[in-house]
Amino acid sequence: MTTKPGAEACAPPTLFQTLKTFPATVHALLFFTGVIRFSYFMAWPFIAVIMTRTYHMSPVAIGLAMTSSALLSVVLGMYGGQISDRLGRRVILLLGCAFSCVGYATLALASGMGLFITGLMIISVCFAWVDPPVRALMSDLLGDRRRRALALQMRYYLINVAAVTGPLVGIVFGLTSQKGTFLITALSYLPFLVYVLLFIPAGKLLAEPVGNAPSVKLHQVMGIIARDKIFVAALMCSILCSIVFIHYEAVLPQYLLLLDANAAVKLITLILVTNACTVLLFQTFVVRFLAQVSLPNRILLGGAIFAFSQLCFWATRTPDAWVWLTMTCIFSVGEAILMPNLNILLDQLAPAEHRGAYLGASTLTTLGIAAGPLIGGVLLALTGAGVFIATALFSVLICVIIYVCKVGIQARLQDS
């Protein structure tokens, strides 16, 4: 008669029960992530349009500016992460919020192309000194692996909510394709800056190891990361995933224009909305159903679905909306599984004493976002639909890397 109560007592907590155990600071970090990304998505997806119409920049010049910003973000990410490991997350978050306010305000108020590109370079600080430290801070506050994974899943979910609502609100109020909208993004960082100043304690949140080991310099941390073959393999998978995903956002619309220029605009809009809605709906249930599946196997599943969706894109030669929306749903399911679980893997592979630097190094994934449109544009011009064969191979390569490193990954996760 005591079996049933005993089983109930041992039952794992539900999603909402786990969320209730999060510290107030984690809830605040998730809230501010949603607010910042909401204002970001009102304008950022249209930055290429702004650069073309306002400053008459060529595609090559736009690509060069975006790639330079991504490279600067990578360098600053590792440097800022190492600072946050040494001095605490508060210092780097304050600097990141302040620079983000200045950078977005510069984009909004720039009177010339030079000042606009300067603002773009300053914004690289936003990705380098805000996103990785926020993730590291949440991991510091959530000691156990399950809650850390759930926090990253919720962060990804909120970013997708912002990706759906931000552009729609911008369109309703006529704010898209206007550089003045970046002023709203700049102002959205001010409440976060005030919160960090008032409620995030100075110094490290994690206790120092016994013995007071000397501080590790940046080049030493970079050497540690470079020698960490498992982390580098996971980072390579994340970069490949970014390349495939940015093909969907930047190259697929160009391919649809080649198929049917008249139907392309409506179809692109339907595809973007379908993608975001599918990710939101699927991710609402994926956490529960895949909770018992190991992290490497989840990534393998997402990578396989990614590869299949790319083959479907390659095989589709019609502008029929229902066909493309079906393919988009398949792609979105793969995205909802693959992208957050790669973030979780990078977080769990990062040692606590160097978590900031490791997550700063994870900004290398922006190289995939920066290089993806260039790779896709060249392949689209040379091969047409063959570009999707390349992205399918990239997706398969993700699966191969994870499969080869699976034993090492599981061993690291068990030791952490």
Token readout for 400 is 């191969």
Give every CB contact of residue 314 below 8 A, 6+ residues apart in sequence.
385, 386, 388, 389, 392
Residue 284: is its pLDDT beyond 70?
Answer: yes
CATH architecture of 22-203: Up-down Bundle (1.20)
Give every CB contact of residue 328 below 8 A, 6+ residues apart in sequence.
271, 274, 275, 278
- DSSP tag of 352: G
Same fold, 22-203 and 216-416: yes
Residue 380: is its pLDDT beyond 50?
Answer: yes
Integer CA distances (angstroms), 84 to 9, 338, 390, in order: 40, 28, 38
**What is the pLDDT, as a whole number, of residue 211?**
46
pLDDT digits (tens, 9 = 90+) for 34-53: 999 998 888 776 676 677 77
Token readout for 351 is 């040692």
Name the residue ranges covered by the structural domains of the chain: 22-203, 216-416
Class of the CATH domain delimited by 216-416: mainly alpha
Give the end-to-end CA distance of the chain in Å, rounded to a whole number.
38
Q: Which amino acid is at 343?
A: N
Give every CB contact of residue 71 below 8 A, 6+ residues apart in sequence.
367, 370
In 173-291, where does DSSP find H-type helix?
A: 182-199, 218-227, 229-246, 252-259, 261-289
Q: Which amino acid is at 298?
A: R
**What is the pLDDT, as a whole number, of residue 83?**
79
* Cβ pair 304, 402 in contact under 8 A: no
> CA–CA separation, 40 vs 162, rounded Å?
8
Residue 209: is its pLDDT beyond 50?
Answer: no
Give every CB contact of residue 179 below 8 A, 6+ residues apart in sequence.
43, 50, 54, 107, 108, 110, 116
Compute φ and ψ for 350, nearest 5 degrees. -80, 125
pLDDT > 70 in the chain, percent: 88
- Residue 365 is inside which H or E element, if any? helix 365-383
Compute φ and ψ for 202, nearest 5 degrees. -75, 160
pLDDT class for 365, splitting at 50, 70, 90?
confident
Q: Pick the residue with more confidence: 17 or 62?
A: 17
Residue 397: is its pLDDT beyond 60?
Answer: yes
* Cβ pair 317, 262 in contact under 8 A: no
pLDDT averaged over the chain?
83
pLDDT > 90 in the chain, percent: 35
- DSSP tag of 317: -
pLDDT digits (tens, 9 = 90+) for 213-270: 455 566 676 787 888 999 999 999 999 999 999 888 778 887 887 888 777 777 877 8
Q: Which residue has the tokens 């994340």?
A: 238
pLDDT class for 2, splitting at 50, 70, 90?
very low
Residue 59: is its pLDDT beyond 70?
Answer: no
**Burial (CB count within 10 angstroms: exposed 0-12, middle 13-18, buried 19+), residue 145:** middle
Token readout for 354 is 């160097």
Indicate the pTM of the whole model.
0.77
* Cβ pair 376, 260 in contact under 8 A: no
Alpha carbon of residue 60 to chain centroid: 25
- DSSP tag of 363: G
DSSP string covering 321-349, please? Answer: HHHHHHHHHHHHHHHHHHHHHHHHHHHHH
Residue of 21, 5, 24, 23 lying closest to 13 (CA atoms): 21
pLDDT digits (tens, 9 = 90+) for 161-199: 887 788 777 767 666 557 778 899 999 999 999 999 999
- Helices and strands, number each (H, E), in the chain: 20, 0
> CA–CA separation, 324 vs 310, rounded Å?
12
Residue 3: is its pLDDT beyond 50?
Answer: no
pLDDT digits (tens, 9 = 90+) for 130-169: 988 898 899 889 878 888 888 988 998 898 888 778 877 7
